[in-house]
Structure 1
């Protein structure tokens, strides 16, 4: 199992334990580039690495979306536990009707 699959599996298992009805998990890992030009010449350039786990969580008709930067199993667990408690405080969305099977 790859590191990516491991993080996704951990997120899904924790969400199920927290009674989250639906979850979408996506890991984005790569480099981002930014170049600034002045007078048609490169003035400044930056390169940085991104490692983000994006989660969409739904409990009934309550939904939230969270990002976990530089995910670890501990960060994933703590964030999902906090998010599941936060979901209970949110109003129900009249736009969300669940995911199709």
Structure 2
């Protein structure tokens, strides 16, 4: 999967800004009392072209927690901006400067 330099994914013909999704994810997690680092990315999808996903640091959420998170996200994001699935990594990889490394994170899923 190639990440675009502008951090935009095209899911079902709709362009989605990853930073907007990540900001909403951070706010929703905080509102639900969960402190986790996260990032948004896309995986190839036959029907949509790209499928929006969210990768969270730590163990998997319960099905109920995922539904609550999606509900919170729907308050600030459009239908195509809500991640279609969640991935989990014990620790998110970082670049040499300490930022989350999306590319490396996707290869670990």
Normalising by structure 1, report the TM-score. 0.38
Report the structure, 1 or 2, having the larger strand content: 1
Name the larger-Rg structure: 1
What is the TM-score normalised by the length of structure 2?
Answer: 0.36
